[in-house]
Amino acid sequence: MTRWAPGTAERLQEAALALFADRGFEQTTAADIAQSVGLTERTFFRHFSDKREVLFHGQRLLAEAFTSGAQAAPDGASPIEIVACALRSAASVFPDERRPHSRARRSVIEQNPALRERELHKLAGLSAALTETLRARGVAPLAAALAAQCGVTVFGLAFTQWIGEGEQRSFDALTTQTLQELLALAAKGTPRIAP
């Protein structure tokens, strides 16, 4: 017998999502979450550096999928093609079964500005990691940052569509279609912007 059950962080995450969904983020204290799984507030903060972080721990998997996908892109791929590989890889993190959970999580985040800020920060981290991967593959700094940021934009909008009510398309299909739409928009952009 172990004195401490394993998966403490995971239990805290689940409990937090449930409580946030029920009473709201601000109406739930860190002590509430800890107590609901039989721990103290102090222990909560040992696992999560701040109260918001409890909703964002899973994002590590996503960052890994992103960069591993980019690294696995074929030699000679253009920056946008590399980004497309990263997106395809990211799609594996969001199988259809996860839709309800993602919806619940997003609904909580949507209702609190502080949580939205944290989400944007995590997306920026994705962008930075992808930029780094692109640069490691020899892409010029500005191009790498632009392509990575476009990838994250497509990811974000695909995700929003994916959890939309009644949406049936897979995450993978949505990223592909959204990226195509971005490329189409760019192609319609004026050839000369300067006067």
The reply to whether 121 sits near DNA by the rule CB under 7 A is no
Q: Which of residues 46-75 bind DNA (CB under 7 A)?
A: 46-47, 49-52
What 8-state DSSP symbol labels residue 52?
G
What 8-state DSSP symbol labels residue 39?
-
Please give the radius of gyration of the chain, using alpha carbons only, rounded to the nearest integer: 19
The reply to whether 137 sits near DNA by the rule CB under 7 A is no
Binding residue (CB under 8 A) for a second copy from 10, 26, 96, 117: 117
Q: How far apart are CA 115 and CA 157, in angstroms?
A: 18
Of these partners, a second copy, DNA, none, which one is at the site of residue 168 (CB under 5 to 8 Å by kind)?
none
Stretch that binds a second copy, among 5-13, 31-39, 97-105, 146-154 (CB under 8 A): 146-154
Residue whose C-alpha is closest to residue 20's, from 58, 56, 45: 56
Binding residue (CB under 8 A) for a second copy from 78, 92, 95, 100: 78
Residues in the chain: 195
Q: Shortest gap between Cβ of 140 and a second copy (angstroms)? A: 9
Q: Which of residues 8-27 bind DNA (CB under 7 A)?
A: 8
Binding residue (CB under 7 A) for DNA from 22, 23, 24, 38: 38
The reply to whether 40 sits near DNA by the rule CB under 7 A is yes
Structural contact between residues 12 and 34, judged by C-beta atoms closer than 8 angstroms: yes
Structural contact between residues 48 and 54, judged by C-beta atoms closer than 8 angstroms: yes
The reply to whether 121 sits near a second copy by the rule CB under 8 A is yes
Binding residue (CB under 7 A) for DNA from 31, 124, 136, 186: 31
The reply to whether 74 sits near a second copy by the rule CB under 8 A is no
User: Quick one: tokens of 169?
Assistant: 């398309």
**Torsion sign across C-alpha atoms 151, 154, 156, 162:** negative
- Give the count of beta carbons closer than 10 Å to the beta carbon of residue 163: 19
Of these partners, a second copy, DNA, none, which one is at the site of residue 4 (CB under 5 to 8 Å by kind)?
DNA
Q: How far apart are CA 99 and CA 87, in angstroms?
A: 17
The reply to whether 118 sits near DNA by the rule CB under 7 A is no
Interface residues toward DNA, by CB under 7 A? 1-4, 8, 28-31, 34, 38-43, 45-47, 49-52
